[in-house]
Structure 1
């Protein structure tokens, strides 16, 4: 790709114009709950369900004033198509399904420095649209940073940039209405005297993920439906 011969600032400018053009042309974005972002004092860990490679681009636009750093799988930076997004969206890359200690350290340091981050706790896009079981890294981040957790529900992005089983580079934008619903900060649970760490972590994850589920239509709630 000819981008590799250009200075980073030029690549970022071109990438931003391309992404803005795609979103302006194809995405009808409806936002609810912006009032929940007022008067935030602490750094925030935003958490969202994950339906499409367009999620980060849309949420970066919605949360522009919050200057969010996204936690993204390393595959996005290795693919010519999705690499465009990494020039627009601030990211910390992480290797999925692994104990990526360097990435986790960078995430915690970013939040402790007063910056907001966004994590997709499921760790990958849902191919059915329904919430899948989340991974527990979010608990570790919150434990070490004491940051507020704010849930976001996304629906419609799976139609904006549908998953293509032949590969990310085959994905194409389609006209779609994307609904973004921002919830109130999640009140973290306290450990009961009679439960062990595993039980507490499991209960805490369900509590956090149900905060996302409540922002979604019923058919998107998946394993956190009840």
Structure 2
């Protein structure tokens, strides 16, 4: 596994070399441990950009798999700030454009940066649950994703992912000690979400709740039933 010392040495290298080494190392791990199956890639043909991709969250390997599968989409990831604290996740961050967000807070600066990124025409990937599920099933989504979609006016595409909870299991005692295991990883890409117009008698809070429910259920439909959690 990648050591903290290796990361420190790499940080002294030019950015291009760090990117190249990170890409080689992480692809080596993914190719060795993950058997990846992707469905629905055809749903991305002729789709209007920018796109907000929304996906359930099971493991720190989710972003690595998504970045590999969606490499042609030039994604900007929205990630929790603590991911910059471990050797493995630091390597992953070297491969992606990332906007850090403070979990469980109204991080107005991060949300503003995300919306600006979308308005510039860049694709963004968000995990609406805001954290990895500890039960391998979906947990409640956060309303921030609704605001991003509404203000960014982007196409929203749901993705269901599973098997990554076995590929890189969560270690709540020490995230830096998480290790890859052999696993089958499934990725299911859905069609763009169609949102209904706000009804005249519908309050803002009610409409946002409805939109969030549509987003989360669109993800859930792409997953096996046992992974759908509260969105069955």
TM-score (norm 1): 0.97
Gaps of 5+ in 2: 1-7
The 5 A counterparts of 1:1-226 are 1-225=8-232
The question of whether the paired residues in 2 share the 8 Å contact of 1:82 and 1:168 is answered with no
| RMSD between superposed Cα atoms in Å | 1.0
Gaps of 5+ in 1: none
Question: How far does residue 195 in structure 1 lie from its aligned partner after superposition?
Answer: 2.3
Question: How far does residue 25 in structure 1 lie from its aligned partner after superposition?
Answer: 0.4
CA distance in 2, matches of 1:209, 1:75: 24
Question: How far does residue 98 in structure 1 lie from its aligned partner after superposition?
Answer: 1.4
Give SS of 1:53's match: coil
Name which of structure 1's ranges 194-203 and 155-164 shifts more when overlaid on structure 2. Answer: 194-203
Question: How far does residue 81 in structure 1 lie from its aligned partner after superposition?
Answer: 2.5
Give SS of 1:151's match: strand
Name which of structure 1's ranges 109-118 and 45-54 shifts more when overlaid on structure 2. Answer: 109-118
TM-score (norm 2): 0.94
Question: How far does residue 197 in structure 1 lie from its aligned partner after superposition?
Answer: 1.3
Count of equivalent residues = 225
The question of whether the paired residues in 1 share the 8 Å contact of 2:48 and 2:155 is answered with no
CA distance in 2, matches of 1:14, 1:120: 26
CA distance in 2, matches of 1:221, 1:74: 26
